Structure 1
């Protein structure tokens, strides 16, 4: 048999298994390359964007290889989500976590070789007894999900991940598959080293998520801005807020303003309430959850239609991962960030609390985030360049590409504002500096003698309107920082700007934020009553099976059913997303609904 034929054969078998289990005719993106490597016993680090089908790259080989695939995953909720989805497709899977009552049965099934997948947390994997358990049955593969957690350079470092190398080294014949959606070049190199994967084992997919529309706005009235977004996007959504108090406040106000079901989620809630809120969100087709960033890493919900940030994220990596929770089903979705200059001021103040060894890296991350927020160009291009890609200049699906903003050279005005901050002793906030620069009649200005400064009254008319957006831009880039008493002090490249060595361009705020409802943004763009009936049936089946609706079928599968109107099980089985187990379990009931229409 020639080598070329040899290579194709396992993939042909894998494609047949892909059709049988998942109902897909072919692999997407780099899935085929990753699956081929796993089947050949080669260790791999796959960097794939959220929604690109990472879990399939170990679930499918696990059903084809002898032995069990051990999956290390950081959160119990994520494991249970994936467990439901795997079982719905007919895969023999189990979790071994602190909340599982059936752990004895799971151990028996593992030792008997009856499991395709065994999900565990890194904390369990690092216990000595776990290595002995693994030695008692054949292993097919080690899969390490959210692999950036192993790297101190990653944005979610988890020390227990560092113990995995020792565990895997004890089973040298078992290949390793590490998976992550967010890792820059530095982090990728660290993951390879920490998990003992050769450099040639790196499979890098593009980071682009073309179905997500990126929008960034200055935050002026978050409740009104988020309520407007919720009016346009009727499906499930996640709103990230910076603090627990803000989470509860926004959840209450948005529920009142919109009439939608809106629930809070943060670590300070009673565990039972937190768990119930998460379960309600996962099962819902229209609920919005307001959460701290801890929420979502454990959610494998494909039909989230928007992710909104009510403040800046910690880094571009964090932003990419959090927004990546939208539109995992491939349908259009939105990522909206509402930011304020104060967000950057606080973040720069917090840098002083960071370990000195990590401070420069954290500062660079913050500067990169400021660049994303302040750009007048394509947001997606800035995002993708950060991850080392060379994207086109325009994506056609971000706020700046769809409605290009005006840009103005504000260097002279910036020099006036920085001079005013310097000459007033670097201890006054924006309001005072604005009064000084515009020559306002003000008792406090006169008392301080600031009406006698050379910068008094040197800004008027149109230029005065630039002061507010300019102050935000200078704070975002770190040229102005807040002092502990709320005043502005010069920092970063402020002196270079004052000397005329640096220019300052600012994006002019849009005159109005009229957002037209996207005609195609609903799940049923053509208004087909059959699609609504299929969704209703999906809801009933989800309640009966006690799983979220998307575990039964995705909206895209229902749309294809409504469009093609199959009349037999064989025809229904040809539709994308309808695997053998689901065809057997639900086929007749979906055909009945189609016949009635």
Structure 2
């Protein structure tokens, strides 16, 4: 049970150091559980706020929170972010000078350090502080690395089980963005925390638009894509080192600021590329998959997969590196059979080759799907989405569906009768009434549903079962020989008659590659005179002066909120999400001054002849006519005259919100009878004062614009 005095510190600490007025989703429950010294497993998507789950408790614990992270090169980014928020943090590794290490140890002894980041390989160097006199909490980031079932297995992580034996009373919090059921169970077992409280947040990153395209003339498509948003940061993931270098070189030839990143570069080269990207000196990085893990750069606006990833976990984690600030982002995947063949070669001979092959097949099915892509992603991690997302290429260009409820019921019935123990091949054999060795040996030919789907071809059944899996009606248990199992959605189909929509199976045909030069795409230019651009420029100047990444000053989301709210006092500025006490003190004066200056310039330069444009901005914000009139200190009749002009200028004014079609028709008849008088009064009198002047003006505007 958490002490009341600790409970009361949570929100003030969150606001002071992180700038937020409230917790997101399950964050508060997790923080309270850690502070109550419970072990915890946290599954939360990239950008979902995992770090706060151990960073905030670290501020309230008396001793040190030890953070175990897989990549030494990325720890500096984490520590810089904490220091920017006024939190005492450091990292420890074998490459540091002995005097640097001694200073860190002294800070730990004096309890001046709140968080210390370390790679698992360096834990042996911390023997003198690995005890409960100094360590209050252990956070294990990227915890999926401990499991051979996971997509990024690292043997060095498997030694971490000793921590619970050495520090039995110290809470352990294991965190990852990507872990299926098998991986979650393995993490708990290997860390010796079987009773850990599990927190599984929604995997849904609604702000990321998902798109898959055939891999035809990829480079040309990528150049066009980047030129539409030239000032934004993005990552292009490639399968090979050579691929990263070739792609970066071709982008550079087309005037795009790009760099390559892969394990073949030396440490200095990798560090420089990573740092230039973090500091917005390089906008585009062409990289192998290691790039991006642990980087908190919140303003990455897009991720492109030049080649297909080897599994859905990897794909999900990589696309999660864009849009971490919650602002709209894009994930574009190019699908090619040649990539599938190459990936199969890479996994040949691996100890878990069968599992890897099954997961690659699932990735291929995702790429070829005719089902909402977000549904597939979420169902893969055990989260079922009832409605289509509306923010993926399939939802935006939906295929033709038919009622496949009977097909679904037959398939799910067979899975049930097979006791959810068989993979897709055997399920299809039973559906089609096969009498092969497996079916006969296991007695499946005696099942009531044997042969219930004999009229459908083997290949078509395969496609239908993939679609059912994609929609969350069944799932693949990779740790149980890829057996098909039912989900909560299955019961609705089997017992409640829920309709299932399917598409007719089609062969995926890859179009031939077109060898042509990239066509010139129109470069989208940012609005020079927007407050957001002014604030972004100020942020960059401050970042350069302080030698920190721009997003550590403020995120894009915070700048957009400043643009919307226009805070002009310290109290208003503190209301912006992402502005804490320290950032108010350090940056508040500069940003408030920029907002005030921008607002004053706008007032001075706004000309009388553009007054209708001011009305249009307020109209777009959803204000009523009376509200606009009151805000502008004008008569409502003047506002209606503005709307008439805006409608004539082609602005999207819903003019029939203010005048009915019947009233327009009456004005048309009056116009014919009166032979189009220039003034409004003749109309008003002719219509016996039944229609107000402003409506007559709007009706005449409609008639003039419609001929």
**TM exceeding 0.5:** yes
Residue 366 (1) aligns with residue 360 (2): yes
- Whether the aligned pair in 2 keeps the contact of 1:303 and 1:327 (CA below 8 Å) is yes
> 1:45 aligns to what SS in structure 2?
strand
Residue 213 (1) aligns with residue 209 (2): yes
**Partner residue of 1:111?**
109
1:441-520 pair list within 5 angstroms: 504-506=505-507
Residue 282 (1) aligns with residue 278 (2): yes
- Whether the aligned pair in 2 keeps the contact of 1:265 and 1:291 (CA below 8 Å) is yes
**Partner residue of 2:591?**
590
**Partner residue of 1:246?**
243
Distance 2:202 2:522 in 1: 27
Q: Structure 2-normalised TM-score?
A: 0.66
- Could you report, residue by residue, the CA deviation over 1:365-385 in whole angstroms, capped at 9, with x for unpaired residues? 011111101111111111111
> 2:128 aligns to what SS in structure 1?
helix
**Partner residue of 2:374?**
380
**Partner residue of 1:21?**
17
Q: Which has the higher contact order (CA 8 A, sep 6+)?
A: 1
Alignment gaps of 5+ in structure 1? 409-469, 478-502, 511-516
Distance 1:589 1:99 in 2: 38
**Partner residue of 1:576?**
577
- Could you report, residue by residue, the CA deviation over 1:439-477 in whole angstroms, capped at 9, with x for unpaired residues? xxxxxxxxxxxxxxxxxxxxxxxxxxxxxxx9xx9xx99
**Partner residue of 1:488?**
none
- Could you report, residue by residue, the CA deviation over 1:519-543 in whole angstroms, capped at 9, with x for unpaired residues? 9x99x7x876322221111111101
Distance 2:581 2:157 in 1: 36
Residue 305 (1) aligns with residue 307 (2): no
**Partner residue of 2:189?**
193
**Partner residue of 1:134?**
130
Q: CA deviation at 1:52?
A: 0.4
1:125-274 pair list within 5 angstroms: 125=123, 127=124, 129-135=125-131, 137-199=133-195, 201-234=197-230, 235-257=232-254, 259-274=255-270
- Could you report, residue by residue, the CA deviation over 1:12-71 in whole angstroms, capped at 9, with x for unpaired residues? 421121011111010011111110101111110000000001111111110111111000
Distance 2:46 2:7 in 1: 23
**Partner residue of 1:561?**
562
Q: CA deviation at 1:300?
A: 2.0
> 2:121 aligns to what SS in structure 1?
helix
Distance 2:134 2:266 in 1: 41
**Partner residue of 1:391?**
385
> 1:133 aligns to what SS in structure 2?
coil
**Partner residue of 1:544?**
545
Distance 1:564 1:545, change over 3 A: same
Distance 1:199 1:207, change over 3 A: farther
- Could you report, residue by residue, the CA deviation over 1:143-201 in whole angstroms, capped at 9, with x for unpaired residues? 00000011111111111211112133211111000000000000000001111223451
**Partner residue of 1:62?**
58
Q: CA deviation at 1:545?
A: 1.1
- Whether the aligned pair in 2 keeps the contact of 1:18 and 1:60 (CA below 8 Å) is yes
- Whether the aligned pair in 1 keeps the contact of 2:108 and 2:134 (CA below 8 Å) is no
Alignment partner of 1:88 out of 79, 84, 91: 84
**Partner residue of 1:71?**
67
> 1:305 aligns to what SS in structure 2?
strand
- Whether the aligned pair in 2 keeps the contact of 1:237 and 1:306 (CA below 8 Å) is yes
Distance 1:570 1:393, change over 3 A: closer
Alignment gaps of 5+ in structure 2? 403-459, 468-503, 512-520, 599-707
Distance 1:85 1:384, change over 3 A: same
**Partner residue of 1:327?**
323
- Could you report, residue by residue, the CA deviation over 1:277-325 in whole angstroms, capped at 9, with x for unpaired residues? 1111111177000011121114221111111111111111111111111
- Could you report, residue by residue, the CA deviation over 1:61-83 in whole angstroms, capped at 9, with x for unpaired residues? 10111111000011123211110
- Could you report, residue by residue, the CA deviation over 1:214-270 in whole angstroms, capped at 9, with x for unpaired residues? 11111011110111211233310000111111111110111222x221111111123
- Whether the aligned pair in 2 keeps the contact of 1:112 and 1:137 (CA below 8 Å) is no
- Whether the aligned pair in 1 keeps the contact of 2:63 and 2:135 (CA below 8 Å) is yes
Alignment partner of 2:120 out of 111, 122, 132: 122
- Whether the aligned pair in 2 keeps the contact of 1:77 and 1:299 (CA below 8 Å) is no
Distance 1:287 1:167, change over 3 A: same
Alignment partner of 2:396 out of 402, 415, 440: 402
Distance 1:351 1:587, change over 3 A: closer
Distance 1:136 1:388, change over 3 A: closer
Q: CA deviation at 1:518?
A: 14
> 2:300 aligns to what SS in structure 1?
coil
Distance 1:249 1:144 in 2: 36
- Whether the aligned pair in 2 keeps the contact of 1:184 and 1:387 (CA below 8 Å) is yes
> 1:578 aligns to what SS in structure 2?
coil
Alignment partner of 1:50 out of 46, 51, 60: 46
Higher Cα radius of gyration? 2
Root mean square deviation of aligned Cα: 2.9
